[in-house]
Amino acid sequence: MKGIILAGGSGTRLYPCTISVSKQLLPIYDKPLIYYPLSMLMLAKIRDVLIITTPQDNDNFKKLLGDGSRIGMRFEYAVQDTPKGLADAFIIGEKFIGNDSVCLVLGDNVFYGANMSQILAHAMDSIKDGGASIFGCMMKNPQEFGVVEFDKNRKVISIEEKPQKPKSNYAVPGLYFYDNRVVEIAKQVQPSARGELEISSINDAYLRLGQLYVSIMGRGVTWFDTGSPKGMHKASGFVKTLQEMQGFYLSCIEEIAWRKHFINDEQLRKCGKELEKTDYGKYLLSLLNEEEQV
């Protein structure tokens, strides 16, 4: 399976902060926002990733992440000249996807949950024979998001965008798994009233085929949409509090790469040495010290 991070857009809801820099390069507490969606792909053991950016930000993402070899990954980059909608990611990424299935994660979504690896594995398993899998995250204000209704077998009955009377309390976050048909389906999507190729059109196509499934993010899973200053602040506060209370780092891509055996001890030590003047680098080196004491 391949992974795509959509890190384009103009970030107008975050102006003036994003006039000169992509919002996915802004910090969520102590690390760039893009680390958080990237960590989801890594937890799913997806190592080939396409990062779609804007023309003006592409070089900055390359400077930050490189070709991925530092953490045992392989990164490619593509440019979305103008915001054309989420479904455009599959058209841009057609050659990259090839004959594989694909996971799309939005570059401004932050997830946390102790069992995220299992949740992601379940979503991947649900489409092993074809189809699409979205997620349902319990929210007290689901009417502000897309809302998914599903049966006892977790087959989707309906999806509504910002309904006044939600049919469930489960909102749909920006994380999606699709089989290879998604590329051809995306090519058939017509622009919506706002002129964009909507991801909801792709999900509707799978729903009509009876092959749209939902994986539940239940108790203990937190999801932040950081498209606004309030969202950025809430996510940063959450990360700061949890890291200070429990001592481990959220969405630390070097640690995930090491624990998933993408890199070995020496590669992790090199990553830590590169950043040893920071708390982040010291944390990476401390992982090796803990390992030696066990």
Q: Output b/e per residue, 24-44; b: 16+ Cβ within 10 A.
A: bbbebbbbbbbbbbbbbbbbb
Query: How many CB atoms neighbour CB 218 within 10 A?
Result: 13
Can you say whether the dihedral through the CA atoms of 59, 26, 37, 213 is positive or negative? negative
C-alpha distances out from residue 26 to 11, 69, 112, Å: 11, 23, 19
Q: Which residue blocks in 14-170 are alpha helix, DSSP H?
A: 35-43, 58-65, 88-92, 94-97, 116-126
Q: Are strands 102-106 and 175-178 parallel, antiparallel or unpaired?
A: antiparallel
Determine the pLDDT at residue 198. Answer: 86
* Fold classification of 2-139+168-243 (topology level): Spore Coat Polysaccharide Biosynthesis Protein SpsA; Chain A (3.90.550)
Which segments of the chain have a pLDDT < 50? 292-294
Determine the pLDDT at residue 291. Answer: 55
Match 């107008």 to its residue by tokens.
Answer: 12
Determine the pLDDT at residue 89. Answer: 96
45-90 residue pLDDT tens: 999 999 999 999 999 999 999 999 999 999 999 999 888 889 999 9
Kindly report whether the global pTM for this prediction surpasses the value 0.85. yes
Task: DSSP letter for 140, please.
Answer: S
